[in-house]
Amino acid sequence: MSDVVIVGGGMVGLSLSLMLAQANIRVKLLEAIQYPNTEESSLDSYHSNFDARNSALSRRSVSIYQELGLWDRLKNYATPILEVDITEEGGFGHAKLLAQEEKVESFGSVIENAWLGRVLLNQVRQHDLIELIDGIKVTALHQTRQSATLTAEKDGKQYVFDSQVVIAADGRDSFCRKAVGIGADVHDYDQVALVTTVQTSQPHQHVGFERFSPLGPLALLPLHGHNRRSVVWPVKKGTEAEWLGEDNDQHFLKALQHTYGQRAGIFEKTAPRFAYPLSQVLAHRQVAGRVVLMGNAAHTIHPVAGQGFNLCLRDAHVLVRYLSQQHIKNADLGQSEVLLRYEQARLKDQKRVIQFCDSVVKGFSNQHPILRLARNAGLIAFDRIPGIKPLVASYAMGLKA
């Protein structure tokens, strides 16, 4: 019997498996997709199943990867955020957060998922306490008082895995969540996120921008390389075809320039755009017997503030602490009281982040003149009233979880 089986080998599943292994807990990691070969030395030649998106890692997330001994490798492709600039297109409000004023080295770092995924995957493959099985599909999940049992298929063969705990990190449409009878509330934002990388005529100077526009909230974040920036732009569902494809490169750059203004100079080039549907999916529970939901299986949230992955890492870090305490005592890792205590311990942080992201999306989507006036006045108040910035910054950095 395994100590822990993780279903889902995305960035959350990979990170969690390394945290557990560091606590001397044996892990089986099951992933439905066949992983690529990541032995190439050059990132330029790397084509992975980790998508084109980028992750804004909070200071707390950075510290987690430091604990895992991975940050020295990750930071080679990570770009610190030293300033956050918040505005609304056509509005007078303006708020700014400066790392120097908040007396921190940075607010966090932006890293390309392809590089983060590669580093995590290589580390997992090298770890003696992690058995990685990719290209395998889970078909059944059953529990008893003593164990949890997964049935899976690979290359036409059936496999059975018994474990003390199953951690379901298998995405917002989680098979495991449905298998244990946990429902979920789903809210469709009627948006898709346009994701790409652009090159600008002026260097990014480590500034991250949140620009609210009638098309949707535009996040422009600094990337590795002085003139490269990550773009995440939620737009109305059904309009994405207007922005995708090489034929629309100049159309996209023109819209970006109009929305963003001249702060970056000229938007010179764009990589291919990808579109991801946006919805909020919140599981009714996160623990059922010996099964724990993790990552998007537990809570999928809007990317407007870049908090989703950071929240998942904090969940994983706390869960490992509870399981490690059981492991040290040679006690049952899947003890119901322990897993339920973990769930309870995470609710406050989760609810705060989820409500914040949802309120920002809804609050800035309405273009009524009175609401626009109130929003811009609020940005000025945020920028000038003492004591607000440090509190918001500490939450954004994951230091008040």
Q: What is the DSSP letter of 77?
A: G
Q: Taking a C-beta distance cutoff of 8 angstroms, is the pair 209, 229 a contact?
A: no
Q: Which pLDDT value is given to residue 137?
A: 97
**Which CATH fold would you assign to the domain 2-396?**
FAD/NAD(P)-binding domain (3.50.50)
Q: Which helix (H) or strand (E) holds 395?
A: helix 388-396
Q: Which pLDDT value is given to residue 380?
A: 60
Q: Evaluate if residue 287 carries a pLDDT over 50.
A: yes
The H-assigned helical ranges of 206-335 are 249-260, 308-328
Q: At what angle do helices 388-396 and 369-384 cross, to 10 degrees?
A: 100
Find tokens 């009233």 and name the residue. Answer: 385
Residues 120, 18, 119, CA angle at the centre, nearest 5°? Answer: 10
Q: Which pLDDT value is given to residue 47?
A: 39
Distance CA 253, CA 263 (A): 14
pLDDT band, residue 85 (cuts 50/70/90):
confident
Q: What is the dihedral of CA 358, 221, 393, 74, to 10 degrees?
A: 110
Distance CA 199, CA 191 (A): 25
Report residue 81 as tokens.
């955020």
In this prediction, residues 350-368 reach a mean pLDDT of 76
C-alpha distances (whole Å) from 334 to each of 2, 163, 218, 221 are: 11, 9, 42, 40
Cα 264 versus chain centre, distance = 26
Strand boundaries in 180-308, DSSP class E: 184-200, 207-212, 217-222, 228-236, 267-270, 274-283, 287-288, 291-293, 299-300
In this prediction, residues 77-94 reach a mean pLDDT of 80
Distance CA 181, CA 149 (A): 15
Q: Which residue has the higher pLDDT, 181 or 38?
A: 181
pLDDT digits (tens, 9 = 90+) for 21-73: 999 999 999 999 998 776 544 444 433 345 568 899 998 999 999 999 999 99
pTM for the whole structure: 0.88
Distance CA 169, CA 16 (A): 9
Enumerate the domain spans of the chain: 2-396
Q: Which pLDDT value is given to residue 364?
A: 65
Q: Taking a C-beta distance cutoff of 8 angstroms, is the pair 86, 373 a contact?
A: no
Residues 22, 16, 298, CA angle at the centre, nearest 5°? Answer: 150
pLDDT digits (tens, 9 = 90+) for 187-238: 999 999 999 999 999 999 999 888 877 777 788 999 988 899 999 988 889 9
